[in-house]
Amino acid sequence: MYPLLFRAVLSRFDPEFAHHAAMAVIRVLGVRPFSWITRAVTAPQPHQRVSALGLAFDSPFGVAAGFDKNAVGVRGLGALGFGHVEVGTITAIPQDGNPRPRLFRLVPDRAVINRMGFNNAGADAAARRLAKLRRRRPQTIIGVNIGKSRVVEVENATADYVSSATKLAPLADYLAVNVSSPNTPGLRGLQAVETLAPLLRAVQEAAGKTPLLVKIAPDLPDDEIVAIARLAVAEGLDGIIAHNTTIERSGLTSDPTVIEAAGAGGLSGAPLRERSMEVLRLVRTAVPREFCVISVGGVETASDVQERLDAGATLVQGYTAFLYRGPFWARQINRGLRR
């Protein structure tokens, strides 16, 4: 039903407008009694509970960063059946992001190209919202994804990350360091091991007891992915998120003129499935069994999530297929996972 509605009606709307409209509905679903009603039909089964990062996740399946940039829809997303919500990417300094249009659908590929540019209200605003959420004792695990402020030079990135971590780590169930978005100039250069190591040490000190993970890009050579995974273990991090969007455009079936018109940005969705599995297997071979690995990219169905879990993922995240599969996507996945 929803795919037909999407193709006939929703796909006609500007993608960013449609996202904001959907988020307004999700926020309503997080308010009682709507949250009770929604949760009654979407709640994961007890056997799906996962222990990771010293936390109890109701389901291994959660929302990737980018969907709820400002921590405004956590309760609604939890009501829809997601086991955790990773908010952000949040920067120390508020920023508008890149000029519009900056979000593009590739419907034949069930994919999206975005160059949002970390548009968010900043760490102070996020801290206020998260503090309010904490007072209400949400059931959903909340991860906080932090990135570099665009106006901050790359050589000053560490202090910028530390500023965000200091404000947000005490309010997060886990903290994720994003050094892999393709939409902030110079950011991916921070993934070089010699640059990444001191940054992670500084953020880890600021994060205190809050579990810390790093999010990497799929476009890195395999040996660099392994090197970062080993670095994360050596530095005492709690996990890796593999992975962010890609700048690759190979293998797409959408009209080349549509792809060209969309321009630069990160590609997400179904086309990432194969590379995402490759990155997951690379990371898992380089880290201990108990090390948390969150797999992201190309996830659409319960069998996709199960495949990631069977390949060694501790948790799995999705985002793009939410646009194509509708509001009960998490419920479909939770119901489809094996016992």
Active site residues: 181
The type of residue at 140 is T
Strands 266-269 and 292-296: unpaired
Q: Which residues pair with 114 in a beta bridge?
A: 103, 266
- Cα separation, 240 vs 267, in Å, equals 20
Is the Cβ–Cβ distance between 140 and 84 less than 8 Å? yes
Q: What angle do CA 4, 9, 12 make, to 5 degrees?
A: 125
Residue with tokens 């932090």: 146
Task: Give the 3-state secondary structure of residue 287.
Answer: coil
Three-state SS sequence of 93-141:
CCECCCCCCCEEEEHHHCEEEECCCCCECCHHHHHHHHHHHHHCCCCCE
As a residue count, the chain comes to 339
CB count within 10 Å of CB 208 equals: 12
The overall longest dimension of the chain from CA atoms, in Å, is 51
Q: Which residues pair with 106 in a beta bridge?
A: 111
Q: What angle do CA 224, 228, 232 make, to 5 degrees?
A: 170
Nearest-10 Cα torsion for 259, 264, 265, 268: 20
